[in-house]
Amino acid sequence: MARIFILWLHGLGDSGPANEFIQTQFKSADLKNAVWLFPSAPFNPVTCNNGAVMRSWFDVPELPFEVGSPIDESSVLEAVKSVHSIIDQEIAQGTNPENVFICGLSQGGALTLASVLLYPKTLGGGAVLSGWVPLSSSIISQFPEEAKKTPILWSHGTDDNLVLYEAGQAAIPFLNEAGVTCEFKSYPGLGHSISNKELKYIESWIKRRLKTSSSSTCLQLNCLKDLLS
């Protein structure tokens, strides 16, 4: 059975181990052999918390995050390098890039988006939960063509008061401009948190993506077989 890799990126001030329970919510037999990784962000001073040091993938100038809130793109790009290193190592072990999924909550969701859009290969998908766009539109021209083929699933609660729902919705025109497919799922009444309903949908989405990837691989193999026969 092909190796499936799921990378989960936590939110600001959280840690990887504190999120490991999420794996137990994915009960599908199709994912029972999936390899999960829950890394922890390094300790860094965070501007929105008056410079307090905490686990943070990159600096966040302002919270709550609203449409038009400032971003620190340079520190985001540094964090992306770390995520890309993890993905590179996984692919080097033989995992098909289209069986690699990145998921993240809040700051981890923002990093998921940036990491997917700047990776040189098409991945299985990126799932953003209550995240935001941590990049300026001026960087869209740097997105690799293969990266643009990686689909994005965006989940956001309508009652989120830390990363406002409207800030999440701002991803839609950004991704449209970039030529990236995005499915935006709204969760009425949900605040800045994860719901079982969200996780169940992400699980089904990953399963659909795997089937799509498998069908595509089979088609390519059949075409190659026809050419050689």
- Quick: pLDDT tens for 124-182: 999 999 999 999 999 999 999 999 999 999 999 999 999 999 999 999 999 999 999 99
Q: What is the mean pLDDT of the chain?
A: 93
Q: What are the pLDDT digits (tens) for 15-51?
A: 999 999 999 999 999 998 899 999 999 999 999 999 9
Write out pLDDT tens, residues 65-91: 999 999 999 999 999 999 999 999 999
pLDDT of residue 225: 58
Closest CA to 9 of 84, 96, 98, 90: 84
3 state SS for the chain: CCCCEEEEECCCCCCCHHHCHHHHCCCCHHHCCCEEECCCCCEEEEHHHCCEEEECCCCCCCCCECCCCCCCHHHHHHHHHHHHHHHHHHHHCCCCHHHEEEEEECHHHHHHHHHHHCCCCCCCEEEEECCCCCCCHHHHHHCCCCHHHCCEEEEEECCCCCECHHHHHCHHHHHHHHCCCEEEEEECCCCCCCCHHHHHHHHHHHHHHHHHHHHHHHHHHHHHHHHHC
pLDDT band at 212 (very low <50, low <70, confident <90, very high): confident
pLDDT of residue 227: 55
What are the CA-CA distances from residue 169 to residues 161, 176, 184, 192, 198 (Å)?
14, 12, 8, 15, 17
Active site residues: 106, 160, 192
The per-residue pLDDT for 215 is 56
Q: Using pLDDT thresholds of 50, 70 and 90, give the confidence band for residue 2.
A: confident
At residue 206, the pLDDT reads 97
Please state, for a pLDDT cut of 90, what percent of the chain lies above it.
90
